Amino acid sequence: MLEVAEVAPEFSLPNQKGVIVNLADFRGKKVVVYFYLKDETSGCTKQACSFRDYYDEFKKRNVEILGISFDNKKSHRQFIEKFNLPFQLLSDINTYVATIYGVYGEKVIYGKNYMSIHRTTFLIDEDGIIEYIFRKVRPAYHAKDVLEVL
């Protein structure tokens, strides 16, 4: 499991347009990398809209936002269009990035075990170092919680 002060693992993933996004491209800026379960589900929509509602404040602070889930680019495009999301959503279809970030694992809901993303957010500094990890996320208030740490 990753910890604060460690180097954030590099990744390259396609965004909603199919363009490959590399974490390294954001050196010199802080980056919020948030892992979420699925486009257009209740909690994930609240979380994404929270970032949308505070997006201007993140931009003023030179902070990029990247959302990552297992959804494909078509699903991401629809999610972005439906909720007017101003940031990129990345597709981790093969679970590689979620696995190296330690956020893919077993969950138990209603007595059933399954593998999924554990809703987690990483604040990565200008040099690619993990500055803060949010392991307990309140979806509707998450952007505000992240801004309080900045």
Please identify every residue annotated as catalytic: 44
HSE-CB at 11 with a 13 A cutoff on CA atoms is: 20
For residue 95, what are the contacts with CB-CB under 8 A and spacing of at least 6? 70, 104
Using CA atoms, how far apart are residues 150 and 82, in angstroms rounded to an integer? 29
Residue type, 117: I
Closest CA to 45 of 19, 18, 67, 70: 67
- What are phi and psi for residue 29, nearest 5 degrees? -130, 155
